[in-house]
Amino acid sequence: MRVWSKVAALAGVLLMHGVFAQDKPMELTAAGKAVLQDLIAQRPSPYDTPSSGPLPMCAFPGGLCGAVHRDGTVAVFPRYDWIGTFSDQRAAVRLGGLYGFIDEDGHEIVKPQYRIVDDYRFGFAQVDVDGRSGLIDRDGKMVIEPKYGFIRAISPDRFAVSEDRQLGGMTGGEDFSSSRVAFAPSGEASFSVSAAEPPLTDVIDIQGRLIESRKPPIPGFDNNPALRWVQKDKLWGLMRADGSWLFEPKFQQVSALNNGLARVTVNGKVGFIDRRGNFVIEPVFDKAGWFIAGFDRTSAERDGIVGVIDKSGAWIFQTNYQQLQFAFASLKSDHPGAVFGWHFKTADRWGLLDLNGRVIIDAEYDQPIGQCADGRLDAYKNKEALYFKADGSPLQPPDGRLIDAPCYGGTPPFILKIGDKFGLVDAGSNPVTPVVFDAIVWAGPDVKNAKLHGKWGRLGPDGHWVLEPKFDYLSTGAGLFVASIDGKRGFMRSDGSWLIEPKFDAAALRRENDTAFVTLSGATGVLRLSDQSWVIPLRPGVLCDVSISPVMVSEAAGKRAILSRTGETWIDIGAERVGVNVDFGLLTFLRDGKWGLVDTAGLVMVEPQFDEPVYFTLRQRGVAWAKRDGKWCAIDRRAHLVQGVACLDTNPLGRDNRFECKVER
């Protein structure tokens, strides 16, 4: 397949890099410096391994990736499509679709040559060679040949290996992580997470000798070490400490003692034995749950009958349901793990029984019914949330629904909608207000904006007016918010007094609430609220912040530009659309019906030639999917096709996410 793009601008990029290298040190663009400041200011995630090494960055002139120290000085010259996080003083790099490794000074320890790599752990990194995994050391030497499905260092001299092969990441950016992201043709994303290592791993040493075989875990029997389950010829028996059998191996499956009984399987049938190995419940059931502590019953199935049995094996009640299982309270509840009934399934719909088998909620719901921290029950029907009291009585009328009453995080009063009218109710669904409002929306802690007879006001938690309904528009916000009278916007305090009288056509508070976007006669600026001075004077069109990037967007006369938060122009190339994630290094842009790529200094790196937007998302590891001539193909940051990654008929990243710039959202 021919290379799609031989763009003269790309040669200019490479020459420009040479000029920077010879004439002055390379540094981040102004946008890159803003990204770095935000990155340093972020609170580290408890799930990420702390790193003191250089920070990977792609917001350099030219849009290639390097790394910088926290003071912004360049540690790794930008020449890669992607750089990973440093681990063990090494970072993976990707160039033209292949991976290598660098050290913290930017020296290339391993030239890009591998299709997939893992991070370094204990001085070793997993690499892919023709679909098999081997291990390289810190110098890049292959110390364990690529013959496994998976291999990872678990200590300086021990390595977990498996024949199973689990890849994570995204199409074109696969990795050895435990999470996988995929997209349906509709664009809907799905996430799957597997174990960090395949479940059945062996442990070897550096010479490849087997140290430990990690087969499925052997179940314990009880707290007494004198008895243990032992498997022989694929059957399980109970062995004493002296090596003699309490009873010979005869079970296909076994469990530990739970509530005095251990579940066992004989000839495909389930029964229960006591501590002495005697059958308390004969193996006659096709399926059975455990007897959990504090309960003298469990679910069971026999000859198509699903029900609940006691500790003698007698039926407490029988049903014709598909499935029956304990209903446990969420880990977020006041009593995590507590049993509150039985989930039952019939005709592929879920309902709830009490512990004695009485129906609390009929089987009409998409998934098992949950229990809220306050004792309410929540269920989903056709993906719509419905709420019930603990006895199963509904908390909303048959023709109504609660809008903002989630199990965790919702605070009464809740919004109730019946038909096209709204009202407020307390946690027990008792009326706080009549259901007479045209709209009610959350506005901040203990306040809700309500619309009545075409005018907006503000309600307190008792349902009384904090602000009478006389406004054309009210924004969210408790301490300071935007209010409109006679079509003009102003800024109002929580007590109803004006900070700035209504005079603007549109207005919106910014993140810090000390400045605001305001529009007058088709021009937008940024106003400092304390003294009403201009941070950014009025300019034609609209301005808006971008929550995911340290930038503003300016849109006027059908063209977009990217500005700093203080109004400095960073990218203005006459584009109808332009990407907003400056941390990507290269931003997609639309001009004359085709898409190209621009760096964060505002220089066009790839002239418009693609049929759809092109995104170098961080999870794609230096690969973007570009559409041309009806095919989606993987390209690198130089717009070259990535070898070894097949072109596709559909976009593997899902639909295009369009950013809409408005002063008021």
pLDDT of residue 50: 66
Blockwise average pLDDT, block size 10, the chain, 665 residues: 41 39 72 94 70 91 96 96 95 96 97 96 96 96 96 92 86 79 45 53 90 72 83 90 90 93 96 93 96 93 97 97 92 74 96 96 96 90 92 93 87 95 94 98 96 98 97 95 97 96 97 91 96 96 94 96 96 97 96 97 97 92 95 96 93 80 91
How many other β-carbons are positioned within 10 Å of the β-carbon of residue 552?
24
Q: Quick one: pLDDT at residue 219?
A: 72
pLDDT at 626: 96
Is the separation of the CB atoms in 386 and 400 below 8 Å? no
Q: How many Å apart are CA 472 and CA 505, to the nearest integer? A: 12
Which residue, chain included where needed, has tokens 């006669």?
A: 521
pLDDT recorded at residue 440: 98
pLDDT of residue 241: 83
The CB density around residue 506, as the number of other CB atoms within 10 Å, is 18
- C-alpha distances out from residue 518 to 470, 488, 563, Å: 22, 11, 17
Fold held by 227-320 = Thrombin, subunit H (2.40.10)
Residue 251 makes CB contacts below 8 A (sequence gap 6+) with 235, 236, 237, 264, 265, 266
Report if pTM > 0.85. Answer: no
Tokens of 547: 């929550």
What are the extents of the domains in the chain?
A: 227-320, 325-394
pLDDT at 330: 77
Residue 652's Cβ-count burial label (10 Å; 0-12, 13-18, 19+) is middle
The confidence score (pLDDT) of residue 659 equals 85
Run of H or E including 293: none
> What pLDDT sits at residue 140?
97
**Three-state SS string across 364-392, please?**
EECCCCEECCCCCEEEEECCEEEEECCCC
DSSP state of 619: G
Tell me if 609 sits within 8 A of 626, measured CB to CB.
Answer: no
- Cα 437 versus chain centre, distance: 36
State how far the Cα of 437 lies from the Cα of 431, in Å rounded to an integer.
13
Residue reference for tokens 């076994």? 254
Say which amino acid occupies 87.
S
